Structure 1
Amino acid sequence: MAGWHWLFGDQLGPHFLAPGERGPAPDAPVVMVEARSVFRRRRFHRAKAHLVLSAMRHRAAELGDRVRYVRAETYADGLRRVAGGAPVTVHHPTSRAAYELVGSIPGVRVLPARGFLLPQAAFRSWAGGRERLRHEDFYRWTRRELGLLMDGDEPAGGRWNHDRANREPPPKGPRTLGVPAPYRPREGDIDEEVRADLDRWERDEGVRFVGRDGPRAFPASRREALAALRRFVGHRLAGFGPYEDAVLAGDPVMSHSLLSSSLNLGLLDPAEVVAAAEDAWRAGRVPVHSAEGFVRQVAGWREYVWHTYWYFGEDYRHRNALRHRAPLPDWFLELDADAVAARCLSTVLAQVRDTGWTHHIPRLMILGSHALQRGWDPRAVTDWFHRCFVDGYDWVMLPNVIGMSQYADGGLMTTKPYTSAGAYIHRMSDLCDGCAYRPADRTGDRACPYTTGYWSFVHRHRARLAANPRTARAVRGLDRLGDLDDVLRTCREQGRTPP
């Protein structure tokens, strides 16, 4: 036997077994390891554990006799049990910890990463010599490199970025956007087996989870992922663009694709996903601003996050430019939405509790913004997002939280902190309707925690924010507040209990 090829649990699509100069041998037997230690050392969302294990076992069932699927305490134990001293190949893992692990095992050869659009060397070449890395610059360069949504040398529709058309507040009145429902899979015997195993782990082995494990809501097989992609492109992409930044309490999915977990499990290749969106636009089935908004999420931000994770190095996770060190409160750690009075935060926390998912604006402007305003430790916030979201992996959450959400890198990834007072949430959602707080109130019993938190944040970091052209206006607004002391006092009082 020439050797084994090792598939991690986020390398589940056919492109991870495609042979070639930079791929595994075409006849290589496959080993997959289900490592219990992963679930012992961290308290993951139960729906996430269910999805990952279901997806791994679905892939093993597809591979049949070609795969040896082993359940072990650790990856190294499982690999040793199957491969012994035989040579092993594996595609570049997605986390630094896994990369260091495979590098420490004799006989394991690391192949180039798959599941992304551009090689790391290409990103390093683009980034080299730049004083600042900006997503918009990277996105345009990627579009040119790949010929993606281009008309010759010009961007499709005459603009690189259609944000102006893609930032509409939700329509007034309806509680839902009224678009066709997303694809939802049906559970089978494998899901029943996984759920029984998780029950036994909790009952007999001391493994602890957070959140609820309802019927599986996300694809766990290549067939299901392709069905979800077809459903989104054929029925939902056309309405995606205008309201991609809006939030409705009764419609947490709206027009979003729900494809992030399939991409991050490796069930879908991003190249086929963006090609499907572009083909739909060229066929006249979707407007250019919707196609561009979705392509920007996949070929722009997802790709940018992957490359910056490796480019910034291991020290990036320890960055804390704002010196935020407050611990996460128990109600947040436990996803206790019922303890929270602020309707926006309670609604979104309940979505995470029940499904392990919410779209990018609640993540950034409700969950992340609250953590930033309260000065929570960015490493703890990163860990929470990693554990509690079905699409959360180290490479995903580290740049998204340290850089984008918590501004802990001091501006390496973004030009400003992303936080706001309650007015933004009121404008972009219906979450303020019926809330115990009023978004415009800064003091008193009905003061919005996001409004008091925003001005407290600006006050704490006024010197840094005053020096940034994108945030200097907020400092000038702070100086015009005649009740700042009362606002800060209200914020401190609110911080003693769930908002």
Structure 2
Amino acid sequence: MHWLFGDQLGPHFLTPGAGDGPGRDTPLLMIEARSVFRRRRFHRAKAHLILSAMRHRAAELGDRLTYVRADTYRAGLDEATGGGPVTVHHPTSFAAAGLVRGLPQVSVAPARGFLVPMEDFATWADAHGGKSLRQEDFYRWVRRDHDLLMDGDQPAGGRWNLDHDNRQRPPRDSATLSVGRPYRPREDDIDDEVRHDLDRWEKDGDVSFVGRDGPRLFPATRTEARAALKRFLAHRLNDFGPFEDAMLAADPVMSHSLLSSSLNLGLLDPAECVEGAEEEWRAGRAPINSVEGFVRQIAGWREYMWHLYWYFGEEYRYSNVLRHAAPLPGWWNDLDADSVGARCLRTVLAQVRDTGWTHHIPRLMVLGGYALQRGWDPAGVTDWFHRSFVDGYDWVMVPNVIGMSQYADGGRMTTKPYTSGGAYINRMSDMCGPCEYRPGDRTGEHACPYTTGYWTFVDRHRDRLAHNHRTSRAVKQLDRLGNLADVRRQERARGDGPP
């Protein structure tokens, strides 16, 4: 019997490989463990999506699959197998990997759903020193090794990285981008059953969720995921690149692909996504900067996060070189966007509350930046991202939050902390104009919480930042502020309440 976890749902997890994976007639097992939803206060839309995807896959596989609803994975495994032998592909978290390796009847096959085998990454990382690794070097290696966007031994278009072309400000004459609508699925009887079960679990006090569970917005089947990929490549990829770092209050999706949850559930293979994008460029239907930006997100950043999670080891999640220890406030944990006055944070927090998703710049610069400035416990911030986002998994959030968003590792994977004052948000969004706060004000009733937060962050860590060539200039600017004492008082007066 072969065991499928709930994020191993695509056909590439069932294709027999070289010495690993199930045969074509191998009986399959899937376990829906209630304990998973007790451990964290997940977003309701995330719980819905995962259960819907698992139950849809079970319906597709029919009699070949045994679907067990149990309290724990161990209980489900005992019920289904009676201690008989089971195979499973390498799980996607240290907790799940520890579970399966501790079960004598379970044999673990190599991971699937990624471009680079784990042992190949370890060899590459060891050769690069192992401690301070850079995504750009890895990305170029993957491009060469997989012949992605390459013309012979040179990058297609003449440059490896077109990020400079993909930082345009949002249009000032429109509240939305003029791009094709994203794919949205239709719910069915399985979704009705899932919603009924989640309602019952909450009513019984068995589990507790956060956020809203409106109509399901993300694919739960391979067919839906393929349709979403096709829609993106045909109607949205063309405009993806220039505005991938921009934000519009009325257009949270903009031209983003919305494929992360499908990739992370295993409904899509990353190879089909990047190869499909390259085909659009070679056919003259999409510009190179948009295609390169999309390929870098998947073959570069996503792949890099997966491998760093395992390479850095389980202790990496406890990194905290800045010694941030403040707890996350209740309004943040409850996704209480209505209590927030700062328009950018209110808008983004409402997007998370209503959909369990927002794109990478609101995550990094609005949500992550605010947490970093306030000195919140990075492990708590990581857990919040994990449970609040439909595409959030342990392997996704540990390196993304610990390493990049909160700079808790001191620069093992990034060259500087990623946080800013209100000027950046004003430049890259339309959210500051109607806001009660002014991005240029450091003190007074209209002082922007991101601006005061930025300068107090620099002040708090000036010794470390002064020795980093990418942040030393900010320390010099800090010393020229003149009203630093007033900025400190402004930030202390704000406290941990919503801004």
Same fold (TM over 0.5): yes
1:267 and 2:256 are equivalent in the alignment: no
Following superposition, the deviation at residue 27 of structure 1 comes to 1.2
Partner of 1:278: 278
**Does structure 1 residue 8 correspond to structure 2 residue 30?**
no
Deviations 1:136-168 (A, max 9, x none): 111011101111000111101100000111000
The residue that corresponds to 1:390 in the other structure is: 390
Q: Is 1:20 aligned to 2:17, yes or no? A: yes
- Distance in 1 between the 2:433 and 2:390 partners? 29
Partner of 2:65: 67
RMSD across aligned positions (CA): 0.7
Contact 1:374 1:495 in 2 (8 A): no
Matches within 5 A, 1:331-350: 331-350=331-350
What residue is the counterpart of 1:44 in the other structure?
42
Q: Per the alignment, in what secondary structure is the counterpart of residue 43 of structure 1?
A: coil
Q: Which residue of 1 aligns with 2:379?
A: 379
- Give the paired residue count: 496
Q: Name the structure 2 match of 1:194.
A: 194
Q: Deviations over 1:105-150 (max 9, x none)?
A: 1210000000000001110111114232000111011101111000
Distance in structure 2 (CA, Å) of the matches to 1:465 and 1:210? 36
Note the C-alpha offset of 1:103. 0.6
> Per-residue CA shift, 1:382-410, capped at 9, x if unaligned?
00000000000000000000000000000
What is the rounded CA distance, in whole Å, between the counterparts of 2:370 and 2:354 in structure 1?
20
Determine if contact 2:329/2:497 at 8 Å carries over to the other structure: no
Q: Identify the residue that residue 108 of structure 2 maps to in structure 1.
A: 110
After TM superposition, list the pairs within 5 Å mapping 1:88-237 onto structure 2: 88-131=86-129, 132-237=132-237
1:468-479 residue pairs with structure 2 within 5 A? 468-479=468-479
Check whether the contact 2:329–2:496 (CA below 8 A) recurs between aligned residues. Answer: no
Distance in 2, Cα, partners of 1:363 & 1:310: 23
1:309 matched residue in structure 2? 309
5+ residue gaps, structure 1, are none
Distance in 2 separating the partners of 1:407 and 1:51? 30
Stretch of structure 1 that moved more, 458-467 or 197-206: 197-206
- How many angstroms apart in 1 are the aligned matches of 2:183 and 2:496? 42
Q: Is the 8 A contact 1:8 1:32 kept in 2?
A: yes
In 2, distance between residues paired with 1:441 and 1:162? 34
Change (3 A) 1:497 1:85: closer
Cα shift at 1:306: 0.1
| Per-residue deviation, 1:173 | 1.7
**TM-score of the two chains, using structure 2 as the length reference:** 0.99
Q: Higher mean Cα deviation, 16-25 or 262-271?
A: 16-25
- Point out where structure 2 has 5 or more consecutive residues left out of the alignment: none
Q: Distance in 1 between matches of 2:24 and 2:217?
A: 33
The one-letter code of the counterpart of 1:464 is R
Letter of the aligned partner of 1:196 in structure 2? H
- 1:206 positional shift: 2.8
| Cα separation, 2, equivalents of 1:433 and 1:214 | 30
Secondary structure at the counterpart of residue 498 of structure 1: coil
Q: How far does residue 496 in structure 1 lie from its aligned partner after superposition?
A: 4.1
What's the CA shift string for 1:166-192, capped at 9, x where partnerless?
000101120001111000000000000
Query: In structure 2, what residue type is equivalent to 1:23?
Result: G
Secondary structure of 1:128's counterpart equals: helix
Amino acid across the alignment from 1:235: H
Amino acid at match of 1:100: G
Deviates more, 1:440-449 or 1:18-27: 18-27
How far the C-alpha of 1:497 sits from its partner, in A, is 2.2
- Per-residue deviation at 1:342? 0.2
Q: In the alignment, which residue of structure 2 is the partner of 1:441?
A: 441
Shift of 1:20: 2.6
Taking the aligned partners of 1:475 and 1:441, their CA distance within structure 2 comes to 18
What's the CA shift string for 1:85-115, capped at 9, x where partnerless?
A: 2210000000000000001112100000000
Distance across 1 between alignment mates of 2:157 and 2:127: 31
User: How far apart in 1 are the matches of 2:420 and 2:126?
Assistant: 33
User: Contact 1:139–1:300 (CA<8 Å) still a contact in 2?
Assistant: yes
Given the two structures, how large is their TM-score scaled by the length of structure 1?
0.99
What secondary structure, in the 3-state scheme, does the structure 2 residue paired with 1:6 have? Answer: strand
Alignment of 1:218-257 (within 5 A): 218-257=218-257
* CA distance in 2: counterparts of 1:379 and 1:433, whole angstroms: 34
Partners of 1:42 and 1:109 in 2: how far apart? 28
> d(CA) in 1 for partners of 2:336 and 2:83?
48
For the pair 1:55 / 2:53, whether they are aligned, the reply is yes
Instruction: Find the aligned partners of 1:157 and 1:267 in 2 and give their Cα distance.
Output: 31
In the TM superposition, residue 19 of structure 1 has moved relative to its aligned partner by 1.1
TM-superposition CA deviations, 1:190-215 (whole Å, max 9, x none): 00000000000000143100000000
| Residue 77 of structure 2: aligned partner | 79
Displacement after TM superposition at 1:417 (Å): 0.2
SS of residue matched to 1:101: helix
Quote the Cα distance in structure 2 between the aligned partners of 1:431 and 1:111. 48
Give the share of equivalent positions with the same residue, in percent.
73
Q: In structure 1, how many angstroms separate the alpha carbons of the residues matched to 2:379 and 2:394?
A: 11
Please say if 1:329 is aligned against 2:306. no
After superposition, the C-alpha distances for 1:431-471 in whole angstroms (9 at most, x for unaligned) are: 11210100000000000000000000000000000000010
Partners of 1:338 and 1:134 in 2: CA distance: 39
Separation (CA, whole Å) in 1 of partners of 2:310 and 2:203: 38
Give the aligned partner of residue 410 of structure 1. Answer: 410
SS of the residue 1:497 aligns to = coil
